[in-house]
Amino acid sequence: MTYITKPIAHHPALPRNALGLTHRDYEGSMSTLCAGCGHDSITAAIIEACYQMDLPAHRIAKLSGIGCSSKAPTYFLGRSHGFNSVHGRMPSVTTGANMANRDLYYIGVSGDGDTASIGLGQFTHAVRRKLNMTYIVMNNGCYGLTKGQFSATNDKSSPSKKGEANPFDAIDLCQMAIQLGAGFVARSFSGDKKQLIPLIKAAISYKGFAFLDVLSPCVTFNNHPASTKSFDYVRAHNMAVENKLDYVEPKEEITVSYEEGTTTAVELHDGSRLILNKLDQGHDFRDPDEAILTIRRNAKQGQVATGLLYVNEAGTDLHDVLQTPDRPLNGIPVAELCPGSAALASVNARFR
């Protein structure tokens, strides 16, 4: 909880990024989640990604719904405005915030209950609207705060801690996002920083709806041996579609060399690139149907396909549809938005 304050002092030799900020400047308050929670690893990855990208924290808005995952924004980016809204409604609040100011980075944090159940409608429509945001689901297959009930992403084969069977089929949010037209869809694992950090960076750089489903085991309620959302299970069945992901900054040169023919560069809107060394040669991440197939093919074999699953580099966003100006709407003075008394003469004339 936020009353547990971290010491402000830090080691003077801490490395600084291009903005002169240390890693600590991107942190939030002390986490109150359970020790070992996957969400804390994702939090750390977000901090690392933003630090490495030299993002000014005050230009980021972090929004969430309700649940363990939705508490997480308190633990990163303390210099950013945060908004812990109501259960399942982060997408609509982010939509409005984005409409008002297109100039900020929007990071939405949600959980599997928040997104796949109560907020399923809002999630799907935020995807449809191509909202320019990074949407991260911290997916643990259960409701942590209310003590471990199944969520809609829990696999049918995966029982509860007490051994009760889950009677319902799981919702695969990545397949859904691709089908609904999300421009950037990736899945990762909280325990795989090397994969997660470049994916977060690429998602933030992407213009349009970037969706990241991060398997994030619940150490308290869903980490038992029979669970398909446990650390051990995910580690053992994690089928990365790329064996290497490198995020390259807009002005940075590509220095890493890859074996000819296996490497692809994904161009992102801000000039940055994501360099991918493909492992699954059957996977074409530019084709939505193939991407869905990759997920399904792996799932059939009990594997979880992770990595960049789908990307549409020609991304558009809601503001293109709305035809709003480049400057944020919240920056236009009311006096400029008001047509004034002179215009009323013709309005009144129409109603006579």
Partner 1 sequence: MSGINDFVIKFATVNGSGSASANTMFAKTVFRMGIPVSPKNIFPSNIQGLPTWYEVRVSEAGYVARRDGIDIMVAMNPQTYANDVAELVPGGWLVYDSTMPRLWQRSDITVVGLPIAEICARIWKDARQRQLFKNMVYVGALTALLDMDVKVLEGVVADQLKGKEKLLAANMQAVEIGRQYAQENFECPLPIRVRHADGTKGKIMVTGNEAAGLGAVYAGASVCAWYPITPSTSLAEGFEKHARRFRVTKDGKRNYAIVQAEDELAAIGVAIGGGWNGARSFTATSGPGISLMSEFLGLAYFAEIPVVLYNIQRGGPSTGMPTRTGQPDIISCAYASHGDTKHVLLFPANPTECFSMSADAFDLAERLQTPVMVMSDLDIGMNDWMTDEFAWDDARMADRGKVLSHEELENFAKVKGKPWGRYLDIDGDAIPYRTLPGTHETMGSYFTRGTSHDEYARYTEDGRIHARVVDRIRRKFDTAATLVPKPEIDIRDPACKTGLIYFGANRPAVLEGLDYLERDGIKLNSLRLKAFPFTQEVLDFCAAHDRIFVVEQNRDAQMRQLLMVEAEVPLDKLISALNYDGTPMTAEFVRQTVRRHLQPAKAEAAE
List contacts with partner 1 (CB under 8 A): 1-3, 56-59, 61, 63, 73-74, 78-86, 89, 91-101, 103-104, 121-122, 124-125, 129, 318-319, 322-326, 329-330, 332-341, 343-344, 347-348, 351-352
The CA distance from 139 to 274, in Å, is 24
Query: Which of 76, 247 has the CB closer to partner 1?
Result: 76
State which residue, 147 or 327, has the beta carbon closest to partner 1. Answer: 327
Residue 257 vs 323, nearer CB to partner 1? 323
Q: How far is CA 309 from CA 41, 221, 305, in A?
A: 21, 28, 8
Cβ proximity to partner 1: between 97 and 116 the closer is: 97
* Shortest CB 251 distance to partner 1, Å: 22
Question: Residue 56 gets which letter from DSSP?
Answer: -
CB 135 within 8 A of CB 225: no
Q: How far is the CB of 112 from partner 1 (least distance, A)?
A: 20
Residue 226 or 322 with smaller CB distance to partner 1: 322
Q: Smallest distance, Å, CB 182 to partner 1?
A: 16
d(CA 249, CA 256): 13
Burial 278-300 (b: 16+ CB within 10 A, else e): bebeebbbeebebbbbbbebbbe
Judged by beta carbon, residue 58 or residue 194, the one nearer partner 1 is 58
Report the nearest approach of partner 1 to the CB of residue 267 (Å). Answer: 26
Cβ pair 312, 303 in contact under 8 A: no
| Nearest distance in Å: CB 39, partner 1 | 16
Tell me the two tokens of residue 70: 């939705």
Which residues neighbour 44 within 8 Å (Cβ) at sequence distance 6 or greater? 193
- The number of CA neighbours under 13 Å toward the Cβ of 110 is 34
Cα–Cα distance, 216 to 229 (Å, whole number): 8
What's the closest the beta carbon of residue 1 comes to partner 1, in angstroms?
5
- Looking at residue 19, what DSSP letter applies? T
The answer to whether the CB of 282 falls within 8 A of the CB of 294 is yes
Residues 6+ apart with CB under 8 A from 133: 94, 98, 106, 107, 108, 126, 209, 210
**Nearer CB in complex with partner 1: 2/149:** 2
Closer residue to partner 1 (CB): 12 or 333:
333
In angstroms, give the least distance from the CB of 77 to partner 1. Answer: 8
Of 83 and 258, which has the nearer Cβ to partner 1? 83
Q: How far is the CB of 287 from partner 1 (least distance, A)?
A: 28
The sheet carrying 273-278 orders its strands as 242-248, 273-278, 263-267
Would you say 127 and 204 are in contact if contact means Cβ atoms under 8 Å apart? no
Strands 133-139 and 142-143: unpaired
Largest CA-CA distance found in the chain, in angstroms, rounded: 76
Residue closer to partner 1, measured from CB, 61 or 304:
61
In the complex, least distance from residue 113 CB atom to partner 1, rounded to whole angstroms: 16
| Nearest-approach distance from CB 222 to partner 1, in angstroms | 24
